[in-house]
Chains A and B, each alone.
Chain A
Amino acid sequence: MKKGNDRTARVILPILTGLLLIAIWYSIKSIWSLHDFILPAPHDVLFAFGEEAPTLLRATVVTFLGAAIGFSTAVVIGFGISLALVSIRWLRYGIYPYIIVLQMMPIIATAAIVVILFDVGLQSVALIAFLIGFFPIVASTLQGLLSVPEGQRELFQLYKASPLQELVLLRVPNSLPYFFTGVKIAATLAVIGSVTGEIFAGSSDGTGGLGFMIMIYKSELKIAAIYAATLICCVLGFGFVSLVLTFRHLCLHKWHESAMDASE
């Protein structure tokens, strides 16, 4: 009974919060008599979805492509690099400090450099989405691969396990919760990276994504359409994170507490 109540609350409370936020939005606009150029009303944003539907749909596909290519590449390469770094100590000593330093680079500055090097278009957008997701995945996965409990390492030593067996049967499973933490951060950042990339690298030949369209709408003073595009970005990001959480739940829920609550 308690569980049922909890499930209902998890559905109803976000809806109520959403309605409250819309009410606050209307109130702010009304109390301060804000012009549509400054703050469009929620229903204006809704209309913008309808008016700009074909453009927004095409832009969404482009942004999704940039984010998906960058994100999936970051997952595969990030995991592979982590395995290499944990297996070859001198490689870790030589490269890891740079991975930490590169993680500190502001994405806006990185995006500008990427566009200069690789020109505008999907390749640069995907690369920026890749760069923003790659570092958290490597940092988290490497931590998981290295932080194996001493007792379990001793157990593998006792059974005379080879380094490959220790990697595959001990370090990799131990790193999975950490890996998914990194992937979840990367998923959150994938759309941000893609949109940031499009602002710098989205082309005007009909292939611009949501970031590019936000710039166009700004120049055309279509403020409600900017809000609509921003909301689509949020939904896209939510989709990526949900996908990761689903995978995490499938892989870990039987043994790791981080993935036991499916409702997250």
Chain B
Amino acid sequence: MSTGGSAPRLEVPRLEVRGVSKRFPGVLANDRVDFAVAPGEIHALLGENGAGKSTLVKIIYGVLGPDEGEIFWNGEAVSVADPHAARALGIGMVFQHFSLFEAMTVLENVALGMDRAEDMTALAQRVREISEAYGLPLDPERDVYTLSVGERQRIEIVRCLLQNPKLLIMDEPTSVLTPQEVERLFETLRQLAAEGVSILYISHKLQEIKALCDRATILRGGKVVAACDPKAETAKSMAQMMIGAELKTVTRRSGGALGEARLAVEGLTLASEAVHGTDLKNVSFAVKAGEVFGIAGVAGNGQNELLMALSGERLADHETVVRIDGTAVGRSDAGRRRRLGLCAVPEERNGHAAVPGMSLVENAVLSGHHRMALLSHLFIRAGAAARFAAEIVRAFDVRTPGTGVAAGSLSGGNLQKFVVGREILQKPKVLVVSQPTWGVDAGAAATIHQALADLATEGVAVVVVSQDLDELLAITDRLAVINVGVLSSAMVTAEASVEEIGLLMGGVHGLDGSVPGEEASHVA
């Protein structure tokens, strides 16, 4: 494994995909996709959410079968029937949503990724060797649920490396990492490429691709729309290829805030009810009228717990811990908080913000019945509910054949517009939104960002919880970072440095990362 990173490009590609198409109900996820990856090359697959990147790599890895098209491995046509076959060829994959088993040990997780039974003692030794050689420290005996997200990703990478892959697929690997962890991952990937391993790097983050990749294939709507050398392009030019249009920028009046605190949280401490969740520890912050407040952080650091504590899905220990416009609501349920003016949009659309099997009208009733007068005693006012649903669809450009269809039949982006719109149209005084643009296309993201900005202009206190730091930097007035359930002090966004935020996201001890025991102690 020492062919060198600067291998000539004219040789036979390690992987070539020709004319691959894949259809799902209602969507053509891949449309005759062609591209090739050379040995030792770091190749970016760039595209927006929903462009078909994940589907394509699942086909390459044998998780999904293509409807049409061929895959060539070192110049020969191959059929990748399942992931075992992919691994036998020399393809390794690190999934965006990890394929790990929480209640099992690191070693068992690694062994499950191997295709043959291995002697566990010898395997543990090899795990230690690999993790040392590539700067990926891991303790084989630890249970996975005690590990941080960054450590979990290391398991996935080590699991791949143990099989001496010739092609390593990384699906959105940095969405769960701090900026510092990202830099370290890149070093590992460059080292691998220098040893001759091809890397297929899936992302929608342009700066990363410019920093890391030798070539890029750009997907849009399931089709290959361009191929380029990222180092020769600007982030803006690649963004235009990816989105196919000029980016809109959010317009809003700048300026400080703005009256009394509409939402005040003081000393919120809450044990997580999830078996492997994160407890909130003494969280305090206040948001004024007209202010957009951001909460940054790596996934799984207490964001869900915080959102539920704000929305009223979980109750605090004391009434005074949470205040809406001065009214103590810490022990009040979601219904009372809504009536007082606090609306929320949780991260997960299907099954949390919306009931997939129910119609849009019923989903409008779900959270709208408190503020929109959709009830007459115990009876639901069907006409009023239908009008409210129709208004959401119209005002937020939700693409749907009607309001009678099930929420689950909408695309992710359209459902997101619906649930965000449903809360905004209730004229909240405080709006808490988690991942407002997760999985929506750039146009819809701009619409949602604009709506949040307008809401703030009207005097609403807006809280945005997001893992996308770029999003928070663009739309918030102030922000704070949550790490292992602790919220940092707030900083003015315009004056904050990415470096500093990154350090906070990693936590004080987690930054070095070479002591897994220490890192995990916050998580456990």
A pairs with B = no
List residues of chain B with CB under 8 Å of any chain A CB.
none
List residues of chain A with CB under 8 Å of any chain B CB.
none
